[in-house]
Amino acid sequence: MATIVPSSSLSRLLSPSLSSLPFSSRSPHRLSVTCTAISPSPFPSTVAAGDRGVYNFAAGPATLPESVLLKAQSELYNYRGSGMSIMEMSHRGKEFDFVIKKAESDLRRLLSISDDFYVLFLQGGATTQFAAVPLNLCKIDEPADYIVTGSWSDKAFKESQKFCKPNVVWSGKSEKYTKIPSFDVIKQNPDAKYLHFCGNETIHGVEFKDYPVPKNKTSILVADMSSNFCSKPVDVSKFGLIYAGAQKNVGPSGVTIVIVRRDLVSDSQPITPVMLDYKIQADNASLYNTPPCYAIYICGLVFEDLLDQGGIKAVEERNAKKAGILYDAIDGSAGFYICPVEKSVRSHMNVPFTLARSELEKTFIEEAAKERMVQLKGHRSVGGVRASIYNAMPLAGVENLVAFMKDFQARHP
Ligand SMILES: Cc1ncc(COP(=O)(O)O)c(C=O)c1O
């Protein structure tokens, strides 16, 4: 049911940083309509965890911060007095111009991204970047190096075969993708145009804790950071290109963020489709065609929220604490639960584990769901259990899961 509230009440709901909008919300003729669910206290930054009744451990699309969803809810029908939803307005109008520019500048602040880099908001998911990277960074007959630590970097490698001459310089396949190589064993090709890796393998739960350096000084470091983007600090200046689908840590599906060094975007292959051409996208400030406006808007709210939470360092500390509690529970279960990943490279985002008695896994997942901990099933390619504990998963969600795991074990001696 909708409630009519005067626009003056709505403007009280706007946070101070939003009141600097370059357009007015004071149309004398307009009433703003909003939902009854809006709390009279404007978007409290600490909405109690579990307010929606579940802890959502999905790998992506994944749980978003409650405060972001509530703010989006309040602005859904009438964005800041414009009389339009973000979904209804021109991507070339002043309101959306503000949204996309603020999202970019907040992301730049969060990750200390210098002006040497473009920040692009693109479409097609991270999967499209598997093709865009070689199309923009090398010619069809030029070599590129790929470190394959799991399903996603393997997919990136396979797609790149259509657009360059890639080479797998290390693969963790024979060890079921449970490791990250030490960098001195990677046999890099000195002529490779770039070195590609996946910062966090969402399915296998292995995460780079440090980054390799391309052997060739003119080679470029490229990372798929889809599932650990904005979960910890990263020195962007060490990279030529970072890309990330938004739907794990920073927003809904539909937008992919590409951070690319300015000097790398002007030499795409002639066959590059316009939508995949970084120069065209950069020259048009990600607005060559209609962008995924609503998804970009939500990312902007998430970036604002991360800054409000104290920035990336604070986020990293919280993530390390959550992951530590969960891995301790697994390792302290006397083998009842097993995480196959080598300890030093365990992901702080996606925690895959199995039960020694595999016949209990189905019951575990079903009972957890009854206890309102949902989407814990491992990826269909590997099975088992996977708890994705991205930025927006509250500590209480992990504590709940650990308490359930202990109880489940006690009931299955
Ligand atoms: C690390 C990683 N890379 C790439 C992808 C593919 O992303 P998209 O579905 O946005 O194409 C995913 C999806 O889960 C992923 O986790």
Is 170 in the active site? no
Q: What is the pLDDT of residue 9?
A: 35
Each residue of 310-355: pLDDT tens digit? 999 999 999 999 999 999 999 999 999 999 999 999 999 999 999 9
Using DSSP's 3-state secondary structure scheme, residue 198 falls into: strand
> Given the CA of residue 245, which atom of ligand 1 is nearest to it?
10
Strands 117-122 and 256-261, sheet pairing: antiparallel
Measure the CA–CA gap between 6 and 12, rounded to whole angstroms: 10
Share of the chain above pLDDT 90, in %: 85
Q: What is the pLDDT of residue 143?
A: 97
Measure the CA–CA gap between 260 and 120, rounded to whole angstroms: 8
> Given the CA of residue 60, which atom of ligand 1 is nearest to it?
14
> Which of 302, 259, 311, 300 lies closest to 102, judged by CA?
300
Q: What is the pLDDT of residue 212?
A: 95
Residue 52 has pLDDT above 90, yes or no: no
Angle between helices 293-308 and 94-111 (to 10 degrees): 40
Pocket of ligand 1 (CB under 6 A): 60, 125-127, 152, 198, 202, 224, 226-227, 245
Q: What is the pLDDT of residue 381?
A: 83
Residue 35 has pLDDT above 60, yes or no: no
Helix count and strand count (H, E) for the chain: 10, 16
- How far does residue 50's CA lie from ligand 1's centre (Å)? 26
Residue 48 has pLDDT above 60, yes or no: no
22 versus 208: which is more confidently predicted? 208
Asked whether 397 and 389 are in contact (CB, 8 A), the reply is: yes
CATH code linked to domain 95-308: 3.40.640.10
CATH code linked to domain 312-411: 3.90.1150.10
DSSP state of 379: P
Each residue of 269-304: pLDDT tens digit? 999 999 999 999 999 999 999 999 999 999 999 999
- Domain residue ranges in the chain: 95-308, 312-411
The pick from 204, 222, 226 for probing ligand 1's pocket by mutation, whose C-beta has the most ligand atoms within 8 angstroms, reads 226
